[in-house]
């Protein structure tokens, strides 16, 4: 490996400086006035840096924002300005932003105001809604570094075209103003890289924001954006959302447009990256999905399937399967408590709860890892070796796994196809177990073993999330509660499922995790995005 | 390569003998009484071997058959019996059947009659409908040789489970009685293999039935089945359908269930094999699709997308793009005449016709070939080398192409993703060319350069069909006319696009092709199965 000049450190420093220039000086809080709190989520509104109107705007749901702009209560410009200001503060607290382009966002907002003034109508159903977006979505005039130093100034002139999702959201009236930080190649469960460093968790800054959509959730959790977009190929929406009590929806591939996003593993199709909304509320999530799909993404992206947004009515009594512990890594106490809260809530409301076995989860999660590294890490290594940036420990397998032959890949794909058929049949067969003779509506289970984990203590176990990428099921993540050092005491355990289980048990520290997020996954069948949102609403109302 | 005992010839002979035992002796026509005609499509009904009732039954549409059984005009048993008898005769004329299990079919039919008698109702909307199916669909108790000698008795005890499609069609009331012949691994454009040999074209037995669904179309063209199922990964439904004037529909992947079919290239996913109906009429095609999708295949097959069968109303004036000649191989005169018949019909009826350029077709068809051989032919070779069966010339590339590395595959997949996006944009951009400002509804173009081709003269050019496998568009094939030696005279040409073009021009012989089928492709967007059928109806009515 030849380290070329300028070294990766120099390039990274240059790129970081370029980003930092784009913050507005008048909004920057002097270091001495920044809080020394672990939980900074409430500090922003109490600190006095935001005006009452800025707070009112930034605490609103997407639908309310658009309605107030449409009714000329607020201008698109002042809405974007408020979110730029709040995002700037959130960034100082969590290091969540990768690309900062407030001026472009404000210009776009101004144009929307002019359009509205000139025509008397709004451009589309998202007219004036600021949208934050994960670093990998190409935006005209911005970089997509995806946490790789070599992409800092590559392409040199930045991207010339918006990703399809960005283009569509703009046509609907969405306003872009920031991109958010990710780990290297978006293939780590914590958000850190050699360009921007680590994004911290605003609920407890001793904990990681998770990854790979970590910048996005840190911003969202502090309402520096009314709605955001992340991606998920093994848990990258769900892990960070569950670490910050932000709602997310990992759709089935083919529901939302994916073309024009920079991939860490370009050309990989054995498992597909999907994107989905990250939102402070389910109302905002539904608003986003309905309008995006209403804009017929299948006419924009060749891989989107023509499935309109459908109205769903839930049965009055649902059948819910619960998986508490996957028998590979036992969740830590706050998560087990969260599962129990939801279970009790469901039972109390008269829904049927059955147990779910993690059959084949381990094999599914091993296969997905093999897919990730099936090119022997060649694509990632090519980019990192160009500048000499070293791998973080989580990325080590991309440097050590030998490249697979296509015949081996075919065999693995055939095995996966068989496993996903078996899973579907197990789901269908639950009708033999339920009282009403209908199969389960959803599985509820942890997204990770953690209520947030400190940096470098994730131990790379994504077995709670990654099986559902291979299965391609619709998965929502919803908040339940927060970790409490006085309740979530360390379990006494002598027997362990294995080494990772023991390490994670060993690491668990109720004091360290205090205040961390307790969120769970709600898993529906493929293409059940509407139903998953409705079920999350139901669960939210049961436990609130 | 070690040739083991018994040799492939011995195994093949044993397997062939096993099949031949399953014909009913009383139906076998003495060789001396078999016709010496090239066109045998009409001989069956005029020969006197079928009773008037057998003819009435076998000339009916699927909907009529089911209705008559439902109304107790016919029993399911006598319907199946009539098709078994006719299929037996068609086989003697064209060598179209691979697995013959009349007794199982008749037993199933009898059980349906008993069910109807006992309950007073039918089992499902296909109650009693015989369905022929391509060799690769697993059927309990039958082999799936896919034209490979080593699969003749492997698994030894035959398959123990129906493919998902077979299971679903059985639940709907469909009756299975034959499987139909395919080329080796289903990867040749003509239907021949070392087990059963060649399937001939009943419209002109000097010509091939095409491949790989060649057995199926020969049977269908002679009404030895009311409806059949084939598969397509590069043209395998469309080439044979177009060679026999049978209707077919190549759906988008994810519309019909595919699980449990034996693949020639198992685990390949860079391009997916799909299955679709082969039918004597569009009414039968619609009947099949509507009921299959009405049975919710997404609950049976993890790769089927939840898109119900939708009602479609066509605009009164359509925008149709026509591609006459792809500039790689010029179609032979009967096909060019067919294109013109359709074009004139459309114009006369007031539809708008624009030209379509074959932009990227050649690169798309090259990429698909690379995908087929990306495992270096390892899977196919493993099976053929076990028994020592040699490759046919069309299969040579599976023996000579080096295996690809996964990193190369990723690069090729990424390139394909970019090309399919470009194609979609070109389709959308046609709105700038049409009078009503709407994009085109369909492309109409040849399926091959031929109105049927003699054996070994296909020259392996699938550039008219295979781009639409990569694009994953919905494609129908519909009959236009038949080749006529007095009209379709050989063109005088001095300049050629290339070697294959010149060879195909050189081979064309109006006398030899006389009576061959002239069918065309009608291409819709992804998941436009309903609309493609409606458009085929419209075109059929225009030109009839």
Asked if B302 and A417 come within 8 Å (Cβ–Cβ), the reply is yes
Chain B contact set for A472 (CB, 8 A): 302
pLDDT over 70 (residue A343): yes
User: Is there a contact between A526 and B306 if contact means CB atoms under 8 Å apart?
Assistant: yes
φ, ψ for residue A371, nearest 5 deg: -65, -45
C-alpha to C-alpha distance for A251 and A256, rounded to whole angstroms: 8
Distance in angstroms (rounded) separating the CA atoms of residues A398 and A393:
10
Q: Which of B434, B371, B431, B382 has its CA nearest to residue B404?
A: B371
Secondary structure in 3-state letters for B396-411? CHHHHCCCCEHHHHHH
Give the tens place of pLDDT for each residue, B518-534: 999 999 999 999 999 99
pLDDT at B291 over 80: yes
Higher pLDDT: A155 or B119? It is: B119
What is the CA A44 to chain-centroid distance, rounded?
22
Looking at residues A471-477, what average pLDDT do you find? Answer: 98
Nearest chain B alpha carbon to A413: B267
How far apart, in whole angstroms, are the C-alpha atoms of residue A46 and residue B397? Answer: 71
Contact at 8 Å (CB) between B475 and B523? yes
The predicted structure's pLDDT at residue A159: 82
Give mean pLDDT, residues A456-484: 97
Apex A34 CA angle, A29 and A36, nearest 5? 175
Output the pLDDT for position B158: 80
Query: What is the DSSP code (8-state) at residue B207?
Result: B
CB-CB under 8 Å, B302 with A423? yes
What does B49-110 look like in DSSP terms, one character per residue? -S-HHHHHHHTS-HHHHHHHHHTTSS-HHHHHHHHHHHHHHHHHHH--EEEE-HHHHHHHHH
Q: Give the single-character DSSP code of B138.
A: -
A125, pLDDT greater than 80: yes
| Contacts (Cβ under 8 Å, ≥6 apart) of A67 | none
A303 reaches B (C-beta below 8 A) = yes
**Domains delineated in chain A:** 8-299 (3.90.1300.10), 320-543 (3.90.1300.10)
The rounded distance, in Å, linking the Cα atoms of A445 and A290 is 26
The predicted pLDDT at position A2 comes to 56
Q: Is A312 on the interface with B (CB under 8 A)?
A: no
B421/A527 touch (CB, cutoff 8 Å), yes or no: no
Average pLDDT value for residue range B6-20: 94
Q: So what's the pLDDT on residue B360?
A: 98
pLDDT at B446: 98
Across A432-436, B154-158, B475-479, least confident range: B154-158
Distance to chain B for A407, nearest Cα, Å: 5
Minimal CA separation from A527 to chain B, in Å: 7
Position A6 pLDDT exceeds 80 = no
Interface residue B259 vs chain A (CB under 8 A)? yes
pLDDT 10s digits, B180-198: 999 999 999 999 999 999 9
Out of B305, B405, B424, closest to residue A405 by CB:
B405
- pLDDT tens figures, A243-264: 999 999 999 999 999 999 999 9
In angstroms, the CA B45 to CA B422 distance is 50
Q: Among A171, A176, A195, A109, which Cα is nearest to A137's?
A: A176
Q: What is the mean pLDDT of residues A135-159?
A: 92
Say what the pLDDT of residue A155 is: 83
Please list every residue in chain B whose beta carbon sits closer than 8 Å to the beta carbon of residue A411: 267
Angle value at C-alpha B538, between B124 and B481, nearest 5 degrees: 100
Cβ within 8 Å, pair A406-B405: yes
The percent of residues above 70 in pLDDT, for chain B, comes to 99
Q: Check residue B200 and give its pLDDT.
A: 97
Using alpha carbons, select from A86, A90, A44, A47 the residue that is nearest to residue A65. Answer: A86
* Cα B154 from chain centre: 25
- Asked if B227 contacts B279 with a C-beta cutoff of 8 angstroms, the reply is yes
Other CB atoms within a 10 A radius of the CB of residue A502 amount to 15
Q: Each residue of B114-146: pLDDT tens digit? A: 999 999 999 999 999 999 999 999 999 999 999
User: CA-to-CA distance for A75 and B242, rounded, in angstroms?
Assistant: 60
Write the pLDDT tens digit of every residue in B377-386: 999 999 999 9
Which DSSP letter does residue A401 get? Answer: S
In contact, B226 and B178? CB cutoff 8 Å: no
* Predicted pLDDT of residue A4: 53
pLDDT, average across residues B75-83 = 98
Q: pTM of the prediction? A: 0.97
Burial B389-412 (b: 16+ CB within 10 A, else e): bebbebbeebeebeebbbbbbbbb
Please tell me the predicted confidence (pLDDT) of residue B193: 98
**Bridge partners for B322 per DSSP:** B355, B444
Half-sphere exposure of B132 (CA within 13 A, CB side): 37
Predicted local confidence at residue A154, as pLDDT: 84
pLDDT of residue B531: 98
Would the pLDDT of B1 be above 90?
Answer: no
User: How far is residue B96's CA from residue B235's CA, in Å, rounded to a whole number?
Assistant: 19
Which residues, in sequence order, are CB contacts of B275 under 8 Å at separation 6+? B134, B137, B165, B229, B230, B231, B232, B237, B251, B256, B258, B261
Burial (CB < 10 A; 0-12, 13-18, 19+), residue B476, is buried
Query: Which tokens sit at A445?
Result: 């289970």
For A403, which of B302, B305, B406 is closest by C-beta distance?
A: B406
If you average pLDDT over residues A538-543, what whole number do you get? Answer: 97
Query: B2: pLDDT confidence band, cut at 50, 70 and 90?
Result: low
Determine the Cα–Cα distance for residues A159 and A138; give it in Å rounded to an integer.
6
CA of B190: how far to CAs of B187, B194, B233, B297, in Å? 9, 13, 14, 31
- Per-chain mean pLDDT for chain B: 97
Residue-level pLDDT at B159: 82
The span from the CA of A103 to the CA of A22, in Å, is: 8
Burial of B27 (0-12, 13-18, 19+ CB in 10 A): middle
Distance between CA A511 and CA B508 in Å, rounded? 84
Place of tokens 């690491």: A507
Of A115, A106, A100, the C-alpha closest to A80 is A106
Round to whole Å and give the CA distance between A440 and A184.
38
Q: Is the per-residue pLDDT at B4 higher than 70?
A: no
Say what the pLDDT of residue A23 is: 98
| Residue of B364, B410, B416 to mutate, testing the A interface (most A Cβ within 10 Å of its Cβ) | B410
End-to-end CA distance of chain A: 55
Distance from CA of B436 to the nearest CA of A (A): 18
For chain A, give the mean pLDDT. Answer: 97
Q: Which residue has the tokens 């010509």?
A: B207
The reply to whether residue B410 touches residue A265, judged by beta carbons under 8 angstroms, is yes
- ipTM value of the model? 0.96
């Amino acid at each position: 490996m030849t380290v070329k000049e300028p070294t990766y450190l120099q390039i990274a420093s240059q790129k970081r400086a370029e980003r930092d220039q784009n913050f507005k000086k008048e909004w920057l809080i002097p270091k001495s006035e920044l809080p020394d709190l672990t939980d900074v989520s409430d500090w922003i509104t109490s600190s006095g840096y935001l005006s009452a109107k800025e707070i009112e705007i930034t605490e609103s749901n997407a639908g309310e924002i658009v309605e107030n702009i449409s009714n000329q209560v607020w201008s698109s410009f002042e809405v974007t300005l408020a979110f730029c200001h709040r995002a700037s503060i959130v960034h100082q607290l969590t290091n969540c932003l990768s690309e900062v382009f407030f001026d472009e966002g404000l210009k776009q907002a101004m144009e929307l105001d002019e359009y509205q003034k000139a025509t008397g109508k709004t451009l589309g159903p998202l007219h004036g809604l600021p949208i934050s977006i994960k670093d990998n979505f190409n935006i005209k005039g911005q970089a997509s570094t995806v946490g790789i130093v070599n992409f800092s100034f590559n392409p040199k002139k930045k991207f010339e075209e918006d990703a399809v999702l960005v283009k569509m959201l703009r046509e609907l009236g969405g306003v872009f103003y920031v991109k958010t930080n990710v780990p290297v190649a978006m293939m780590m469960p914590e958000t850190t890289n050699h360009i921007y460093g680590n994004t911290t968790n605003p609920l407890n800054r001793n904990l990681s924001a998770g990854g790979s959509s970590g910048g996005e959730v840190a911003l969202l959790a502090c309402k520096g954006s009314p709605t955001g977009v992340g991606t998920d190929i093994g848990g990258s929406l769900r892990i960070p959302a569950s670490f910050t009590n932000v709602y997310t929806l990992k759709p089935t591939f083919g529901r939302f447009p994916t073309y024009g996003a920079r991939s860490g593993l370009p050309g990989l199709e054995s498992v597909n990256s999907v994107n989905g909304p990250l939102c402070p509320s389910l109302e905002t999530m539904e608003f986003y999905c309905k309008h995006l799909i209403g804009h017929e993404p299948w006419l924009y992206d060749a891989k989107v399937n023509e499935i309109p947004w459908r109205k769903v009515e839930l049965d009055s009594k649902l059948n819910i399967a619960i998986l508490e512990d996957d028998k590979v890594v036992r969740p830590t106490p706050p998560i087990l408590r969260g599962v129990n809260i939801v279970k009790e809530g469901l039972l109390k409301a008269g829904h049927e709860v059955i147990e779910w076995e993690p059959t084949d989860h381990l094999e599914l999660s091993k296969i997905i890892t093999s897919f990730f590294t099936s090119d022997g890490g060649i694509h990632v290594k090519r980019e990192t070796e160009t500048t000499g940036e070293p791998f973080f420990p989580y990325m080590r397998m991309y440097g050590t796994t030998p490249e697979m032959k296509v015949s081996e890949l075919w065999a693995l794909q055939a095995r996966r196809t068989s496993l996903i058929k078996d899973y579907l049949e197990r789901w269908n067969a639950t009708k033999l177990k339920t009282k009403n003779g209908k199969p389960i509506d959803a599985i509820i289970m942890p997204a990770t073993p953690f209520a947030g984990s400190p940096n470098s203590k994730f131990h790379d176990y994504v077995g709670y999330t990654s099986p559902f990428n291979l299965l391609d099921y619709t998965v929502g993540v919803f908040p339940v509660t927060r970790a409490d050092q006085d309740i979530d005491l360390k379990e006494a355990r002598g027997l362990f499922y294995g080494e990772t289980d023991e390490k994670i048990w060993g690491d668990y520290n109720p004091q360290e995790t205090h205040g961390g997020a307790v969120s769970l996954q709600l898993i529906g069948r493929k293409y059940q995005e509407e139903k998953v949102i409705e079920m999350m609403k139901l669960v939210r109302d049961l436990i609130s």
